[in-house]
Amino acid sequence: MEGSASTEPRDRPFQLLATIALAGICLWVIRTEFPRVVSDHGLWDFGAFLASGRAAAAGLDPYGIYPPLTPHVIFPGFEAWNPNLNPPISALLFQAFDIAEPGWSLRIWWVISIASYVAAVALLLRRYSYGLHHGLIAIWAFALAGFWDTLYLGQIYMPLVLIAVIAWLRLERGDDVFAGIMIGLLISMKPNFAVWPVLLFLAGHRRPSLISFATAAVIAVMPLAIFGPGIYLDWLRLVATDGERAVFLTNASFAGLAARAGFPAVGTVLAVSLLLALAAWAFRRSPPVISVSGLALVASLLASPLGWIHYTLFLLPVLLHHWQRPWAWMAGTALIIPVPIILGYFGAPRLIQLTAGSVYAWALVLVLAGLVISERARRSAPAQEGFLR
């Protein structure tokens, strides 16, 4: 298995100390974040989803702003409403959130989210076991900033993370049909992950790619049949006018970095360049399915206009596949920094926001660089073996 080479004996004491240190930091993060999440802090994004579902049920615009349910975010130099930005199928799904009093609905959703995340982590631990690191990985996974902020906001990412993990593992086992269905479910709610099946197709892994797009298309027809084409126009109009939120510090994409640097157009250039480069690489090299999937998941975040910290949970299989590599540890450590610490840089000088305030984005850049280096090493390995023979 790539990334699971045995450690040299002389490195083991250092690795043990690093493991203990990281575990200690993770436990501190968990102890700090738990009170914040369980406090009475309102509905936040869950309120936006609840409002969207109610509006759809009443024949109103599910992408409108409905105070007080729709959250209004204010920080130094930043102010924005946070309506539902998910595709139209969400207008149907979010109606289920209104089956109980909002506070109880949020808690029920927390239980569903945590159960989904536990299942995802358990599946990955079963697949990627690193002996001493096994317990650390479990602690680390539950210290990630994306995990705690997803719960705090009442977001929907964790069941989707489970879907992505299942897709990754089934692809690894050659189960193209089930993997394709899972990827289709994922992109039907988070279209930025369409990068995944596109790169799979270009790399020659056609069946899971086509099945995923067919699955997503079937799901997309449902709201079209119920609400009509107007709901897609409302959604696209909202997405197209939501660029002001790119500067928010928990946006880890190229667009976020460029907006904080004061050159928002550069983010688009970087995103398009990355996608074109990966498309050319996949088409010319026909890499293995896991190599494609790792880079596709990272690109889905970096090239997205809004690559929130919560999206980094989708990198769990990528990081664990490469867990023995230093860059995976470094990026994983950066991604446990609690969101309130990062938000504290709002109002700081631009350079501070672009460096310390953008640590999540730089962690993704590090993962991208690590995957590129790993891919080059994988390609050069057969040539080196042939030379030695």
Give the contacts of 150 (CB within 8 A, at least 6 positions apart): 113, 157, 158, 310, 313
| CA distance to 129, 139, 146, 325, per residue, from 134 (Å) | 6, 9, 20, 15
Domain spans of the chain, in order of start: 36-379
Q: What is the pTM of this model?
A: 0.93
Residue 83 is encoded by which pair of tokens? Answer: 């309506």
| CA distance to 171, 231, 290, per residue, from 182 (Å) | 10, 25, 15
Segment 88-118, tens digit of pLDDT: 999 999 999 999 999 999 999 999 999 999 9
**Contact indicator for 137, 122 with CB cutoff of 8 Å:** no
Residue 357 is encoded by which pair of tokens? Answer: 């305030």
Pick from 328, 299, 285: which is nearest to 3 by CA? 328
Segment 209-250, tens digit of pLDDT: 999 999 999 999 999 999 999 999 999 999 988 878 899 999
Looking at 67-153, list the stretches that DSSP marks H as alpha helix, in order from N- to C-terminal side. 89-93, 102-127, 133-141, 145-153
Tell me the C-alpha distance between 299 and 254, whole Å: 10
Residue 48 is encoded by which pair of tokens? Answer: 């936006």
Segment 175-215, tens digit of pLDDT: 999 999 999 999 999 999 999 999 999 999 999 999 999 99
Pick from 52, 64, 42, 155: which is nearest to 96 by CA? 52
Q: What is the mean pLDDT of the chain?
A: 92
Tell me the C-alpha distance between 256 and 240, whole Å: 16
**Contact indicator for 176, 163 with CB cutoff of 8 Å:** no
Residue 337: its pLDDT value, please?
98
